[in-house]
Amino acid sequence: MPDFDAIVVGSGMSGGWSAKELCERGLKTLVLERGPDIDPAKDYSDMQDPWDRKYLDRVRPEEANRDYAIQKDVYVFYESTKHLWANDRIYPYTTAPGTDYQWLRGHHVGGRSLTWARMSFRFSDHDFKANKADGIGVDWPIRYADLEPWYDKVEEFVGVSGSREGLGQLPDGKFLPPFEMDCAEKLLKQKMAEHFPERTMMVGRVANLKRATEEHLALGRGTCQARNACFRGCSFGAYYSSNSASLPAARNTGNLTLKPDSIVHSLIYDKETKRVSGVRVIDRVSKATTTYTAKIVFLNASAIATAAILLNSTSDTFKTGLANRSDQVGRNLMDHVAGALVHAKIDGLEDRYYSGRRPICGYIPRYRNYPEYTEDYKRGFAFQVYTQRGRWDANASGIGADYKARQAKPGEWAITLDTYGEVLPNPNNRVTLSTTKDQWGLAVPHMDATMGPNEMALMQAGSDDAVDILTKAGFRDIRQDKVKPTPPGNRIHEMGTARMGRDPKTSVLNKWNQAWDVPNLFITDGACMTSSAIQNPSITYMALSARAANHAADLLERGEL
């Protein structure tokens, strides 16, 4: 008899959902996490101010450069959060000459569900049809209707706060009340309605509880306090993470076994049954090896790590990696692309300020190449909208009443439009295994991926549109930064290395996230994505995970696995 009904590799965004659904279907489920467990009392810092930490919460440059050469550039990298990001010296990877891949990740229970930006936008039917429409990559084997009920289920459990806009390119969902726009965003919304009625200005949809429901409260979660300290871990459980929601729900069933410090070496393939029989594991601390067996395996290690596990799982049957008869494992590595910022100042709001620190920015959804394809470039872009009132004159020198008066007066209102674009699938953007080994004897991932001319065209078009929007809005001092697309990986949305498809010759997974070559293997993290769309992908990973886990449970019940 196998040790477990199911094994889930990875405890983050998708792994937490796979575990929750499998456990709730009655399956004894083992979750393997390569990093340590998380103790909120010790590992969260959301109740501390910078002056409560050594070095005012800054990481010493010599330590950052030595141990976090890549991770140190993450916008939420501090002394209090560095343990939530991988030590690049201990967890290396290699890149091809001329590339600059930035693999930003953390190894601990919950993974990047503790540090994500929480933007939660559904893909639309337009996104699921995009590859077929323009002949890039392969066609998705599913459409929006296949995922819609799973989006509903995920959003209600997660708790997504957002507004209903009635947009075809950004479907509405099961939302909690939205966070309120500030006065600058409301002004931009008004001006866009006058000059660009076909474009929408809205507040972002975010996995923070604007109003906790009974289901959320029962898991120990609480309403968001609008402190915008989410990246430090939330003691209220007010934003969604595996640690605050899906893993506790799985644990409540009595069917969950969670093993931190468990580095997956490879999967074991049984050529007689044509199934995966188990997982080889190395203890992170002792380096002892163990094998666990199960009826089904879910890979949720993240797109790059999942590809590396498959490539390392060689056998007489799969000499180039498990489930890789299509030669697509590791290929089509995607991210999103940014790097086109336009800034302006806003007059007429000098008597206004804002209350609290809302955990989400404004958002302008895609409008180019939608609903028809009319541009020279492929796909489209959206804008993340940042507004703020400038700092008080706190660092100026002076003395007396005039000086004190200046300290009580805030600066000017400012706005930034940040273009966020889709990256096309490209089989030459890929992950392979390096000849370099880590301290556990595993070949480290080797990345060869670049941004192409289409990504550059998207960024330039977005930058020019942003200037047009801010000009027609009547804002002043418009400043257009030089367009410089972000390196692959920089947006922390790696995906596509074991894509879904309609044909086993050109894809790794079928429409149920089930490996064509190995029917009891499922992959529901970013590796499964067939295209990237524009939207932040995490809510889609969760919906795909819930859907696949229930399908796998159905197959087990029917005796088909």
528: closest CA among 550, 549, 544, 506?
A: 544
Phi, psi of 461 (to 5 degrees): -65, -40
- The pLDDT tens digits of the residues spanning 337-370 come to 999 999 999 999 999 988 889 999 999 999 999 9
Per-residue pLDDT at 356 = 85
Per-residue pLDDT at 394 = 57
Exposure letters 178-203 (e unless 16+ CB within 10 A, then b): bbebbbbbbbbbebbeeebeebbbbb
Q: d(Cα 107, Cα 93) in Å, to the nearest integer?
A: 14
- Looking at the domain assignment, is residue 243 inside a domain? no
**pTM for the whole thing?**
0.97
- The pLDDT tens digits of the residues spanning 277-291 come to 999 999 999 999 999
- Looking at the domain assignment, is residue 471 inside a domain? yes
Within 8 A by CB and 6+ apart from 156, the residues are 174, 215
Q: How many residues does the chain have?
A: 561
Per-residue pLDDT at 397 = 78
Low-confidence residues of the chain, pLDDT below 50? none
Per-residue pLDDT at 409 = 78
- Looking at the domain assignment, is residue 90 inside a domain? no
CA triple 436-439-442, angle to 5 deg: 55
Helix 538-557 and helix 13-24, axial crossing angle in degrees, nearest 10: 30
Per-residue pLDDT at 382 = 98
- Looking at the domain assignment, is residue 198 inside a domain? yes
Q: d(Cα 548, Cα 402) in Å, to the nearest integer?
A: 65
The domain tally of the chain equals 1
- Looking at the domain assignment, is residue 381 inside a domain? yes
Per-residue pLDDT at 392 = 67
Per-residue pLDDT at 374 = 95
- Looking at the domain assignment, is residue 212 inside a domain? no
Tokens of 117: 């930006």
Structural element, H or E, at residue 64 = helix 61-67
Per-residue pLDDT at 402 = 81
Per-residue pLDDT at 355 = 84
Q: d(Cα 6, Cα 506) in Å, to the nearest integer?
A: 27
Domain with 419 in it: 179-203+335-423+452-485
- Looking at the domain assignment, is residue 355 inside a domain? yes
- Looking at the domain assignment, is residue 42 inside a domain? no
